[in-house]
Amino acid sequence: MARLRVKFKKSSLIRYISHLDLMRLFQRALRRANVPVEYSQGYNPKPKFSFATALALGTTSDGEYMDIELIEKIKPEDFIENMNNVLPEGIKILRAYYTEEIKSLMAIIEWSSYLIELKLLNEVEKENILDFLNDFLDKDELLILKKKKKKGKFVTKEINIRKKINKIELMLLEDNKLILKTLLKTGSSGNLKPEDLIKSFKKEGLDINDEEYKIHRLELFREKDGKREVL
C-alpha cells in the first residue's frame, strides 16, 4: 500500500459545489482515470482518500490537499495527467508525491492563508484601514458568538478568536474594494473560518457589507521545528 499526497485547485467555475459533491466527483474521476485505489471493507466499500479540510461553499482555492491510499504505486506524473484528463473544468491537480506520513492531513495542518475581498460601504483612506488593522491585532480579545448543537438543542457561546489569527495584511484598497491577506488557524488543533473573521471586522467597527465578499484560499501550512512550511 502507498499513500499519494495530492495538491489541487478549485476555481470560480466550480466554487458552489459542496464538499460532499466534491468527494463524489473525485470518486468518479479516480475510477475513470483507472487509479489503483484501495477500497474499504464491508457491505458498501468506498475508495480510501481524505481531504485536509473542507472548503466552504463559494470559496475558491489554489491550495487544497488530499491523501489517496493506493494498492500499488504509479508514477505521480501519470496520475496528474490521467486525472486532469477526466476532471471537470474548475478542478485541476497541481502536484502529487508519495508520503510515509502516518498522521491524517487534518491532524498535520495548522494554518491557512487566504485572500479576502470585502466591499466597504463608505470611502475610507488607506491610513484609516491600516490603523483599524493595527488596533484590531493589538486586542487581546476578539469575541464572536458561535451557535452549536448540544444534546439536541442549539447553544450560543461567546468565544475569543484572537489567538487563531496570525496576521492580516492590506493588499489592495481601490474604489471601496478592500483585499486583505490573512493567516488563520486551521485543522484539528483549532479552526477559524474567514467568515467569522469578517463578522469580527464588522463587530469591531469596520464599515463593510458582511454579506457580500469573496474568499480565496492560497495555501495550507504545517508547523515543524517551530517553523511554518507548505505540506
Quick one: 199 exposed, middle or buried, by C-beta within 10 A (0-12, 13-18, 19+)?
middle
- SS3 at position 100: coil
The reported pLDDT for the residue numbered 226 is 83
CB 4 within 8 A of CB 66: no
Instruction: Give the range among 76-80, 94-98, 225-229 with minimum mean pLDDT.
Output: 225-229
Q: Please check the confidence at residue 168 and state whether its pLDDT lies above 90.
A: yes
**Parts of the chain belonging to CATH 3.30.70.580:** 2-102
Domain 109-230 annotated CATH 3.30.70.3190: yes
pLDDT of residue 151: 74
Alpha-helical regions (H) of 181-226: 194-203
pLDDT value of position 76: 98
Kindly compute the dihedral angle of the four CA atoms of residues 108, 227, 141, 55, in this order, to the nearest 10 degrees.
-40
Question: Is residue 149 pLDDT above 80, yes or no?
Answer: no
Correct CATH for 2-102 of 3.30.70.580, 3.40.225.10, 3.40.718.10, 3.40.50.150: 3.30.70.580
Q: For CATH 3.30.70.3190, list the domain ranges present in the chain.
A: 109-230
What does residue 188 show for φ and ψ, rounded to 5 degrees? -70, -20
154 pLDDT exceeds 90?
no
